[in-house]
Amino acid sequence: MLSGVFQKEFLWGGAVAANQLEGAWNEDGKGVSIADVYTAGAVDKFREVTDGVLDGVYYPNHVGIDFYHRYKEDIKLFAEMGFKCFRTSIAWTRIFPQGDELEPNEAGLQFYDDLFDELLKYGIEPVITLSHYEMPYHLVKEYGSWRNRQLVDFYTRYAEAVLKRYKDKVKYWMTFNEMNGIPHMPWVTAGIQIQDGEDKKQVFAQAAHHQFVASAKTVKMAREINPEMKMGCMVIMGYTYPNTCNPLDSIEREAFMDETLMFTDVVVRGYYPKSALLGYEREGINVVMEDGDLEVIKEGTMDYIGFSYYMSFVASSEAGETVSGNGIASVKNPYLKDDVARVGREPLRKLNENDRLIKPLITARGFNINTDNLLLGVGAALHYDNKEDAQSVQLQSLINEKGIKESLAEISKISGDTDVLDKVEKYYDEVKKLIGA
């Protein structure tokens, strides 16, 4: 992007997950995952976790979009859109149905061989998440999930099997999806339901540590198997504003962002930030660590950061009207009209605060992508990253109100760049083709 054009190596693509689309939940030796016992929900109804798979209950992932049987036609359509990368996950329970077996399920391994071959046939780069909301249900029932240190060994055994199997087919990997979701969505991210008498903060911190260790060990292993592999993390990223200039709101905001960014600090920088350690001490949290854990975390850092960005948040020291998000509720922001307007460029700025932006980024943005939205991003990246924030806000408001075509002349005035009209319009038709607009 620094040269003003997208490089040939730039990866346009899309992202899904095995539990979202594969279906075939009990075929070819696949075991039960935590997604398989998660019911459907609605606007006015939360999803529920059932004690095993129950008759007469609707579990949406049991069918998905039947990708397991129809992936060839789906990938063909994907290729026709011109995409160059496809992020999905491997269903852990297709490879180790219970999670604690010693040998993998060959039928599961073969399915992903066939899937990756089909992607590569069309020149599509697989970007593969090892654990995306679908860990084995058996590990929850028998071991207590990521509370238990044994999960590190079960996970790394699974990771070793697939990393070796697909070492020449998959270059880009992610160890966990949205691992910083543990405090907000403990079931999907870590298979955890807090029991009576448990200190949830203690449980979440210990589970996170076990995932940090498992992730770092996997990164180190991958570099031994194939040094060309690129290992990444995936986090939820939503910029957070203080509700008011009340110092207590600012404190709430900083605490929320520290909790969010602690996960990338550990897996990217290779150590727990002081804010996390002081927070643990203040809360009376004692994270049990084995000898060598911190050294492993230091050595097994990521090559890139993935983040999903669905909305921004508002932090308040007082209760107020809330709005729902992607698993995380927030105080309503009265200055933003709707969920689409809640998305902006803030995550990049926040990740870059205090020199945090030290790795390449890959993102999944959770709103409808259209020509205006994409050109807004192109225009911002090409011309506005070095401008004052007030100009960026003015630019975004202008485009939201009038659309890109009608705004080009006014953008030129805002930026003081008399050539911006020609520069942005130059990419208009090309970008439209890229996104099929």
Environment class of 226 (CB within 10 Å of its CB; exposed 0-12, middle 13-18, buried 19+)? middle
Most confident listed range (261-265, 277-281, 296-300): 296-300
Contact 12, 118 (CB under 8 A): no
Q: Quick one: which of 205, 13, 28 has its CA closest to 122?
A: 13
State residue 150's pLDDT score: 98
Q: Quick one: which of 352, 323, 175, 330 has its CA closest to 261?
A: 352
**Dist CA 219 CA 11 (whole Å):** 22
C-alpha angle 231/232/238, rounded to 5°? 180
- The two tokens of residue 181 are 């979701």
State residue 347's pLDDT score: 47
- Number of Cβ within 10 Å of residue 37's Cβ equals 20
State residue 24's pLDDT score: 97
pLDDT in tens, 378-424: 444 433 333 444 444 444 455 555 555 555 555 555 545 555 555 55
- The two tokens of residue 309 are 């960005």
pLDDT in tens, 274-284: 989 999 999 99
pTM above 0.85, yes or no: no
- The two tokens of residue 426 are 């130059």
- The two tokens of residue 342 are 């809640």
List, in order, residues 6 or more apart from 403 with CB less than 8 Å away: 372
Contact 333, 343 (CB under 8 A): no
Contact 155, 218 (CB under 8 A): yes
pLDDT in tens, 56-65: 999 999 999 9
Dump the DSSP string for 54-116.
-TT---GGGTTT-HHHHHHHHHHHHHHTT--EEEEE--HHHHSSSS--SS--HHHHHHHHHHH
Kindly compute the dihedral angle of the four CA atoms of residues 335, 341, 343, 346, in this order, to the nearest 10 degrees: -40
Tell me the β-bridge partners of 173: 128, 231
368-376 contact pairs (CB < 8 A, 24+): 368/340, 369/435, 370/435, 370/437, 371/404, 371/428, 371/431, 371/432, 371/435, 371/437, 372/399, 372/403, 372/404, 374/431, 374/435, 374/437, 375/404, 375/424, 375/427, 375/428, 375/431, 376/404
pLDDT in tens, 190-204: 999 999 999 999 999
pLDDT in tens, 174-190: 999 999 999 989 999 99
- Number of Cβ within 10 Å of residue 151's Cβ equals 26
Residue 208, pLDDT > 70, answer yes
pLDDT in tens, 344-378: 445 455 555 545 555 555 555 444 334 444 444 44
State residue 401's pLDDT score: 54
Top-confidence residue, 319 or 353: 319
List, in order, residues 6 or more apart from 101 with CB less than 8 Å away: none
Instruction: Please state, rounded to an integer, the average pLDDT across all residues of the chain.
Output: 82
User: H or E stretch including 371?
Assistant: helix 371-379
